[in-house]
Structure 1
Amino acid sequence: MPKSRVRKKKVYSNPTNTGSQTSDSYEPSPLWVPITAVSLIVIGIGWLVLYYLSGQAYPVAAWGYWNLAVGFSCMVASLLVLSKWR
């Protein structure tokens, strides 16, 4: 029975600056990013909870169901801020 040919494995070499991103593009985010995101989440959830528990009388009774839009908008804004977090 014939013996199979032994192939040499290629030696891995680390690529040097082949991408457009450099090492300084991976700087950590400023401190305001997570603080703002968590604050927006808490404000949004607090707005919605207050709206439901008050029987739709608070935070702004004249807005009616637009209070839901305000609460959910705060939470969506927090997701947008978190997309900048590294």
Structure 2
Amino acid sequence: MPESSIRKKAAEKKKQTSAETAAEARKERQRRVAAPGSRRWVPPTFITVGLLGVLWLVVYYIAGHRIPFMSDLGGWNVLVGMGCMAAAFGIATLWK
């Protein structure tokens, strides 16, 4: 059965519209996938914060009774040291 010219024009218009929509969607995806800025700050930061946590615990166990603010904190020093190490692991997840 022959198609009318109106049907052909409608089919061509639909095909063109869907192709344009697909092209726009590809452009949007490419814009959203753009890489974030430089992450060169991450390794030195997480190493520093992690070592700070370890150093805090070492100083607390060796000389915590001689340092006034550490003796005032008491058992909370463990939380401070472990918190720094946990923060270091959290920062490490940002590394790409």
TM range (shorter): 0.5 to 0.7
Separation in 2, partners of 1:52, 1:40: 19
**CA distance, structure 2, for counterparts of residue 85 and residue 29 of structure 1:** 10
Amino acid corresponding to residue 47 of structure 1 in structure 2 = W
Query: Which protein has the bigger helix share?
Result: 2
* Corresponding residue number in structure 1 for 2:60: 51
Question: Superposition RMSD on alpha carbons, in Å?
Answer: 2.3
- 1:78 is aligned to 88
Shift, 1:24, TM fit: 4.0
The alpha-carbon deviation at position 23 of structure 1 amounts to 6.8
SS in 2 for 1:84: coil
Q: Percent identity among equivalent residues?
A: 32
Any unmatched runs of 5+ in structure 1? 1-16
Contact 1:47 1:71 in 2 (8 A): yes
Aligned match of 1:67 in 59, 73, 77?
77
| Residue in structure 2 matched with residue 34 of structure 1 by the alignment | 43
TM-score (norm 1): 0.64
Q: TM-score, normalised by structure 2?
A: 0.58
Q: Deviations over 1:27-55 (max 9, x none)?
A: 6852211111000111000000001111x
Residue identity matched to 1:37: F
Q: Which has the larger radius of gyration?
A: 2
